[in-house]
Each structure stands twice: as C-alpha cells, then as structure tokens.
Amino acid sequence: MSDRPTRADTIQLLFEYTQSASLRNHAFAVAAAMKSYATRWGEDGDTWEITGLLHDFDYERFPDFPDHPMKGNEILGQHGYPEEIRTAILGHVPATGVARTTRMAKTLFASDELCGLIMACAMVRPNKLHDLTSSSVLKKMKDKAFARTVSRDDIRQGAEEIGVPLDEHITFVIASLREISSSIGLD
C-alpha cells in the first residue's frame, strides 16, 4: 500500500477542493476522532485519519446528493485512493445505500455528525473544548434549534453501530478533539 496517496497528498487534495475554514476544521476533527479510535482498536491509524480528512472534501463543490459523495468517490479513484477508504466515505451518507460493513466505515459514520455537534457546542462556550463534557453535549442534543442541521438520529445510530455507549462515545471524541483544539480554532 506504499504507492497510495500520503497524508500530505490528502491534505493537498482537501485544500484544493475545500476553501471554507469551518469545513476544513470539520475534516481535521473527524480525522482526529478516526485516528484515536484506530489507536484504541489496534487499526491502521493513517488509513483511518485519511478517511476522516476526505469524507467531505467534495462537499463545497458538490453539496447535494447524489453528487456528494458520488463525484468525490470518482475523484478519489482517479487519485489512487483504495476501495476501503472510498467505500467508507460512500457509507457515511445514508442516502447512498452503501452498507457500512467495516469498523472503519461505522466509525466514520459515528464520528461525522458528532464532531459537528461537539464543535458547535464548543463554539458557544468561553473555554471552548477545555471544560466541555458529555452531559453538556447531550443537553444540547435535546435542543433541536441548536445546530439544527446535525442529525441526532445519526449520532445515536453511529454510537450503536460501533458498540460504544453514547455518553462514552461523546467523551472519547471530545478528548480526541482537545488534542488538536488549537489547530481547529477551539483552543
């Protein structure tokens, strides 16, 4: 697998297709959660991180289904990204109908919407991520007007799919994001 694109190649592709700082920060957040889970479960952290970085790289240019993620999948194929990454990315959008059969695909789905909610929660707090707790995130989940585009159902289903209790999943992802908080504007 040494001939596959590197992390540097991946970041270059992400920046080529994604100009929005908030969407780039989301990609880095999901990548951090993915890499942390890969470490926890003894999986390939580089592959999982790259998958997180690329999951929405095409969203700015192709925001609507089926263009997102289908056009992105074609672009990733042209750049030599392996099938396991491309399939996981397709599976993170439920409308594709692509089954999430691997732990990596399930974790991407579980991390995507949750990272969005956690980042939204952190943005409205004076100390950002530093004192954010699972209970605070769970409280905001109940407020349907807060971060209204974040699917609460996907968050709950994602935790179920990876077999981690929701409270524990939220705590784990918060800890992952704290490690990169300064680089994603949440320090």
What pLDDT is stored for residue 166 in this prediction? 98
- pLDDT, average across residues 31-44: 98
> Domains of the chain: which residue ranges?
7-182
What pLDDT is stored for residue 1 in this prediction? 42
Task: Let me know: does 36 contact 175? Beta carbons within 8 Å.
Answer: yes
The residue type of 135 is S
Cα 182 to Cα 17: distance, rounded to the nearest angstrom: 23
| CB crowding 130-141: b at 16 or more within 10 Å, else e | eebebebbeebb
What pLDDT is stored for residue 4 in this prediction? 86
> Alpha-carbon torsion 8, 11, 17, 20, what sign?
negative
For the segment 104-136, what is each residue's pLDDT rounded down to a tens digit? 999 999 999 999 999 999 999 999 999 999 999
pLDDT, mean over the chain: 96
Peptide bond into 66 cis (omega under 30): yes
What does pTM read for this prediction? 0.97
Cα 154 to Cα 89: distance, rounded to the nearest angstrom: 15
Peptide bond into 69 cis (omega under 30): yes
Locate 96 and state its tokens: 């594709």
- pLDDT, average across residues 156-172: 98
Domain 7-182 falls in which CATH fold? Hypothetical protein af1432 (1.10.3210)
